[in-house]
């Protein structure tokens, strides 16, 4: 047989379940607004109703603009200027280059270098020699999408080309 305490708890639980929908708040969504964010949008009351007389328009126009005590714009401009100066000093960053050759054959390296130079005259080629390997990379791309667009153009002439992550030069 169940105790009196269990019956009281069960009764309270049933009352809670039955009364929960009564206390639940319904969110009224304004017509024409995005249903996901409409309830969070701030609504402002207009300061003055639309003026129908010239007197009301005159009173609104005669209000004097008060200069703010602290001007945020000056502080913001100083901060942005300091960030600009720091960013101007940056010359290198992590990015992507296209690797067109990696091997030990100097003749093959020269041939591939000429092919790439003929196809992309405006892009700087980087030749690295770490004994005994030669590496030819080109391009300074901040994101992989830019590098991929160039890779698609060079793959027909150099099928072994691929994108690598490398330190790149920042061109300003």
Q: What is the mean pLDDT of residues 105-124?
A: 88
Kindly report the pTM of this predicted structure. 0.51
In the predicted model, what is the mean pLDDT of residues 48-75? Answer: 61
Which has more pLDDT, 14 or 59? 14
Please answer whether residues 141 and 150 qualify as being in contact, where contact means their C-beta atoms are separated by less than 8 angstroms: yes
Cite the beta strand spans of 90-161 per DSSP E: 92-103, 125-130, 133-141
Report residue 163 as tokens.
Answer: 């994108």
In the structure encoding, which two tokens stand for residue 47, read together? 């300061």
CATH level 3 topology of 92-169: Alpha-Beta Plaits (3.30.70)
Domain coordinates in residue numbering, the chain: 92-169
pLDDT digits (tens, 9 = 90+) for 5-46: 777 777 777 776 776 665 555 545 555 555 566 667 777 666
Strongest mean pLDDT among 10-14, 117-121, 149-153: 149-153
What is the per-residue pLDDT for 148?
A: 95
Is residue 167 a contact partner of residue 94, using CB atoms and an 8 Å limit? yes
């Amino acid at each position: 047989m169940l105790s009196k305490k269990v019956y009281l708890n069960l009764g309270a639980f049933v009352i809670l379940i039955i009364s929960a929908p009564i206390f639940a708040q319904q969110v009224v969504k304004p017509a024409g607004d995005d249903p996901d964010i409409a309830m969070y949008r701030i609504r402002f009351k207009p300061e003055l109703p639309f003026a129908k007389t010239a007197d009301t328009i005159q009173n609104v126009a005669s209000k004097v603009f008060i200069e703010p005590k602290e001007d945020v714009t000056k502080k913001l401009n100083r901060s942005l200027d300091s960030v600009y100066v720091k960013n101007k000093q940056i010359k290198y960053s992590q990015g992507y280059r296209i690797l067109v050759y990696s091997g030990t054959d100097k003749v093959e390296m020269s041939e591939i270098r000429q092919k790439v130079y003929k196809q992309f005259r405006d892009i700087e080629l980087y030749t690295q020699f770490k004994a005994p390997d030669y590496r030819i990379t080109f391009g300074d791309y901040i994101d992989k999408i830019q590098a991929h667009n160039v890779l698609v153009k060079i793959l027909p002439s150099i099928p072994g080309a691929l994108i690598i992550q490398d330190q790149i030069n920042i061109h300003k």
